[in-house]
Structure 1
Amino acid sequence: MSNSTAIVTGASQGIGQATAIRLAKDFRQVVLVARNREHLLETAKAVIAHGAEPLVIDIDLAEKAAARVVVETTLSAFGRIDALLNIAGAVPQIDLFEMTDEQWDGGMALKLHGARRLTIEAWEALKKAGGSVVFTSGNSAIFPKAPYAAVGTINAAIAALAKAFSDRGISDGVQVNSVLPGPVMTGRRRSYLEHWASLHDVTMAEAMDRFPREAGIARYGGPEEIAELMAFLVSPAARWMTGTMLRMDGGEVKSV
């Protein structure tokens, strides 16, 4: 895409980082948004290597003013927004009866409200470009469980929010979809498995074998696999797809 700009939140690690690097093949400019500047600069190097120009914005999207800063900085640098990929947001996986209000509110502030505010702020630019938005939810939106109460609640809210934005987007010319990744081997998941393996005196290979089987899948997904789906959704090939929730989960969800 000539002279096109994509904003990717959560671009410092995991699915967000993989998506930002993947989009560097299709977009001339890729805006990298997250809190950790050092990690964002590493992502920026990979974006450059793939032929795109990065813009690093290290900011906390949980803060109310952050969305406006991201949009104004992007428009000042590149003059347009063609795609927005809302990927930021790590929600603690804590039992329903053990979560504090602060932990619950923190997950809502970043993953839900941060994405909502940023999409609203970017909407006029997206309208002008006939652009695309992708929200990142998760399978827990479909089957919330007590140990993942906050994750499931927030993911369900994001799926509903994306549907509402897509309805508005039909008249405004903005395409909106959501992606529900299944178990993906990110750095955060690897750290958890290493900790679990250490506590139970088993090898990492044994932990890697156990948890996918418990989820009913053959293996964990890779961030790069989710990134390919993200890239498809904001490509010309997917323009008639809007208001859709797409699962990519290795078969974790067994219902029809």
Structure 2
Amino acid sequence: MSKPVAIVTGASSGIGKATALRLARDFGVVVLVARGGEKLAEVGEQVKAIGAEALVLELDLMEASAAETVVKETTKRFGRIDALVNIAGAVPGLDVFQMSDEQWNAGMELKFQGARRLAVHAWGALKASGGALVFTSGNAAVIPKAGAAAVGAINAAVEALSKAFAERGIEDGVQVNSISPGATMTGRRQAMLEKAATSKNIGVEEVKLQFLKQAGISRFGEAGEIADLIAFVVSPAAHWMTGTVLRMDGGEVKST
């Protein structure tokens, strides 16, 4: 019997990297997709060290052909897809009046269209395996801010998209959910905090405390915590869970 295969996008850093390493414990094969070559290759070696096989695909999911390439390369080599986890998609946090059409479109192309195209191309293989499809959104979907307009709008679109796929998944035997991480401490988050500290002329720790107070949470999340949730969602234990948005955010979102 062939080994189960998981595809993780955005796998070179942050939550994507943590998820790839976590799923390496449960899947025989992890396919790593991201734009970052050297960092992505390093994650591939770490996946192998855990005991899983790794396929490293350095691709830009903003390119329309990339999704088809991911699925073709994966199925040609391994013959199956059991889980697809869409994590790629950093959206610029710019004011609603400052973003150009190009910036709006770039955010939508990577996080929304890239994930949509990949889900469409992988659907047949997921249907054949009775697999799991995961989208990643964010709390901005339900707490939109004028100062980060695209983040909220695109995350909300991703959550709606996941529910549309979930409806078809009920017919086809594919489990579909969306994971919404709260403020998670990644390299990108650290860079954002440092930029804010510079602009305010205060220390990074003070900026962190201000953020936590404003968000109403006690601490930042860890990428590994989000990865553990994703690992549960794509496991047999959670297979009846579908069409759901799961928020892991320390209590920032106080309503459903």
TM-score (normalised: structure 2): 0.97
Q: How far off its partner does 1:200 sit?
A: 3.1
Shift of the 237–206 alpha-carbon distance from structure 1 to 2, 3 Å rule, reads: same
Which secondary structure does the structure 1 equivalent of 2:8 belong to?
A: strand
1:225 corresponds to: 225
Q: How far off its partner does 1:193 sit?
A: 1.1
Q: How far off its partner does 1:27 sit?
A: 0.3
Aligned mates of 1:206, 1:142 — CA distance in 2: 26
Does the aligned pair in 2 maintain the 1:2–1:27 contact within 8 Å?
A: no
1:128 corresponds to: 128
Residue by residue, what CA displacement relative to the aligned partner does 1:72-110 show, whole Å, maximum 9, x if unpaired? 000111111000000000000000011010100000001
Answering whether residue 45 of structure 2 is matched by residue 48 of structure 1, we say no
- What residue identity is the alignment partner of 1:51? G
Give the alignment of 1:80-229 within 5 angstroms: 80-229=80-229
1:238 corresponds to: 238
Q: How far off its partner does 1:197 sit?
A: 2.1
1:22 corresponds to: 22
Structure 2: stretches of 5+ with no match in the other structure: none
- Alpha-carbon RMSD across the aligned residues, in angstroms, is 1.2
Answering whether residue 20 of structure 2 is matched by residue 6 of structure 1, we say no
Q: How far off its partner does 1:201 sit?
A: 3.4
Which secondary structure does the structure 2 equivalent of 1:161 belong to?
A: helix
Which secondary structure does the structure 2 equivalent of 1:42 belong to?
A: helix
Quick check: 235-244 or 36-45, which moved more?
36-45
Which secondary structure does the structure 2 equivalent of 1:61 belong to?
A: coil
Q: How far off its partner does 1:2 sit?
A: 6.7
Which secondary structure does the structure 1 equivalent of 2:167 belong to?
A: helix
Aligned mates of 1:167, 1:130 — CA distance in 2: 15
- What residue identity is the alignment partner of 1:135? F
Identity %: 61
Residue by residue, what CA displacement relative to the aligned partner does 1:122-158 show, whole Å, maximum 9, x if unpaired? 0000011000000001111112121121111111111
Shift of the 208–143 alpha-carbon distance from structure 1 to 2, 3 Å rule, reads: closer
Give the alignment of 1:74-85 within 5 angstroms: 74-85=74-85
1:247 corresponds to: 247
Q: How far off its partner does 1:192 sit?
A: 1.5
TM-score (normalised: structure 1): 0.97
Aligned mates of 2:232, 2:60 — CA distance in 1: 27
Which secondary structure does the structure 1 equivalent of 2:184 belong to?
A: coil
Aligned mates of 1:139, 1:202 — CA distance in 2: 26
Q: How far off its partner does 1:212 sit?
A: 1.3
Which secondary structure does the structure 1 equivalent of 2:185 belong to?
A: coil
Quick check: 158-167 or 201-210, which moved more?
201-210
Aligned mates of 1:207, 1:106 — CA distance in 2: 29
Runs of 4+ in 1 over 6 A off after TM superposition: none
Structure 1: stretches of 5+ with no match in the other structure: none
Aligned mates of 1:215, 1:42 — CA distance in 2: 34
Does the aligned pair in 1 maintain the 2:133–2:176 contact within 8 Å?
A: yes
